[in-house]
Structure 1
Amino acid sequence: MESIFHEKQEGSLCAQHCLNNLLQGEYFSPVELSSIAQQLDEEERMRMAEGGVQSEEYRIFLQQPSGNMDDSGFFSIQVISNALGVWGLEIVLFNSREYQELRIDPINEKAFICNYKEHWFTVRKLGQQWFNLNSLLTGPELISDTYLALFLAQLQQEGYSIFVISGNLPDCEADQILRIMRVEQQQRPKLIGEDEAQRVSVQQVSDTTHTTDVGVLDEDEEELRKALALSRQHMEVEDEEADLRRAIQLSMQGSASPISETAGSSHDTSSINTLTAEELRRRRQAYFDRQQLPHSADSHSAGGLKDSGTKPDQ
């Protein structure tokens, strides 16, 4: 398949792509096709002038745009016909009465060019196989012999004009290679726009997934920061209570001097030495109150249960 010449769509130059894909090479450029179109325009002008350059028909003709080309890159069937004439090739309308009377099987032809709404493309036999060389495809599309007639009938039903190429096409590498071998196509080519849309869709899904992953990571990091903050707060409370318990134990012993000996660290010693007697008394009382809270709660709960289980005196 790599040996098959296949120009892909650029702008509205489908007529150029159609011709070059048919001839299997870069035989025509927009400049050359424009030159043919201008020559045709001049021939038409001269024919119109034969009726008189002062006639209303001639003035109207001069005001109309060219029917053989436009600024977008479109070229008429007359331009294509003249371009093929350089190579001794002619075109015949496929569904014309003259051609249908010949009763030629399409697989015995060499090539077709198709047109619908100013779009041109080629269907050509290379070796013993048929290929759709539409410039809107990402690559050549293999067409089986049994499907060729159905393919052309479907195009006609969709409104395409089909022309048969008559004459000897120039030799090409793909035709030489495919005469001695056949190719298989595992996957049909897509339309260029469809292929691009799929790539964009895949990229959008990838970007969305990445954004979601980042969002999840941000949430996880936020939860971790909260957990660390709570842990540090809990550790600070535990450290403070540990210092307070040691201070209370020392105060209850009635000795402040052994603090430096019983303290676990220099940090503990400095922390406790800075406590005044009043503050130490207040913290000790708060500590005792917290120690008695669970006991009081249990007693109140037990009393409630007991009361609920007694009966009034009879």
Structure 2
Amino acid sequence: MSETPPPTSLYHERQHLELCAVHALNNLLQQRLFSKEELDRLCGQLAPDSLLNPHRSLLGTGNYDVNILMAALLTRGFAAIWWDKRRSLTSLVLSRVHGLILNIPSNVTLGFVSLPIRRKHWVAVRQVGGSYYNLDSKLKAPAHIGGEEDLRKFLQEQVAQEPCQLLLVVEREVEEDGSWLLPL
């Protein structure tokens, strides 16, 4: 990733508690649309009879699962499509993709100390002003990725890590017509 400074209009929330899903959604959509309370409400809707909700941490500090991200995106007219890592990223039609969400392994830190524990972390990637940016809430500022080929290289490096997962965020119509993927 290059050192190009991000545009001043780039929205970027920083990590708080275990709310990386909230931050990834807001960073992807480039405004504060979601809150912990809203994602907690979605948890309750998806598991209304559960004593312990399976879609978030036991302590209620966040750590939302993919079902909550997908449900939240649906409330805003978007869909999340799981990317099959067996496919080549060259078959992805980036002009039809609103943004990307990665679920990557991340070290747990306490203050300045990094623990030998890895947990999953939600990260948004989005094109703004003609360039792609890594909008990871653990970063002090968005990291410039570059153009389409730079993005494909970045994504390939990320999905090569186990157990990284990639979600394409597209408008509902794009999900339905399948135009996010080049035909075989």
> Secondary structure of the residue that 2:27 maps to in structure 1?
helix
The equivalent residue for 2:152 is 149
The answer to whether the 8 Å contact 1:107/1:148 transfers is: no
The answer to whether the 8 Å contact 2:100/2:168 transfers is: yes
The equivalent residue for 1:113 is 101
| Number of residue-to-residue matches in the alignment | 148
1:223-269 Cα deviation digits (max 9, x unpaired): xxxxxxxxxxxxxxxxxxxxxxxxxxxxxxxxxxxxxxxxxxxxxxx
Q: 1:83 is matched with which residue: 64, 72, 89?
A: 72
The answer to whether the 8 Å contact 1:106/1:148 transfers is: no
Over 3 Å counting, the alpha-carbon distance change for 1:11 and 1:147 in structure 2 is same
1:109-158 Cα deviation digits (max 9, x unpaired): 33100112331010001131111100010111111123211110111111
Root-mean-square deviation over aligned CA pairs: 2.3
Q: Which amino acid aligns with 1:161?
A: Q
Larger radius of gyration: 1
The equivalent residue for 1:69 is 56
Percent identical across equivalent pairs? Answer: 28
Residue 68 of structure 1 and its aligned partner are, at CA, apart by 0.4
Q: Which whole-Å CA distance do the structure 2 matches of 1:78 and 1:20 have between them?
A: 16
- Structure with more strand by fraction: 2
Aligned counterparts, 1:265-280, within 5 A: none
The answer to whether the 8 Å contact 2:12/2:142 transfers is: yes
Over 3 Å counting, the alpha-carbon distance change for 1:153 and 1:96 in structure 2 is closer
Q: Which whole-Å CA distance do the structure 2 matches of 1:150 and 1:118 have between them?
A: 21
The answer to whether the 8 Å contact 2:96/2:170 transfers is: no
> Secondary structure of the residue that 1:120 maps to in structure 2?
strand
1:92-120 Cα deviation digits (max 9, x unpaired): 112267x7699224466331001123310
Q: 1:8 is matched with which residue: 9, 14, 18?
A: 14
Unaligned runs of 5+ in 2: 1-6, 105-118, 173-184
Is 1:166 paired with 2:174? no
1:191-216 Cα deviation digits (max 9, x unpaired): xxxxxxxxxxxxxxxxxxxxxxxxxx
Q: Which whole-Å CA distance do the structure 2 matches of 1:6 and 1:24 have between them?
A: 7
Aligned counterparts, 1:98-247, within 5 A: 103-106=91-94, 109-116=97-104, 117-145=119-147, 146-159=149-162, 160-167=164-171
Higher relative contact order (CA 8 A, sep 6+): 2
Q: Which whole-Å CA distance do the structure 1 matches of 2:145 and 2:90 have between them?
A: 23
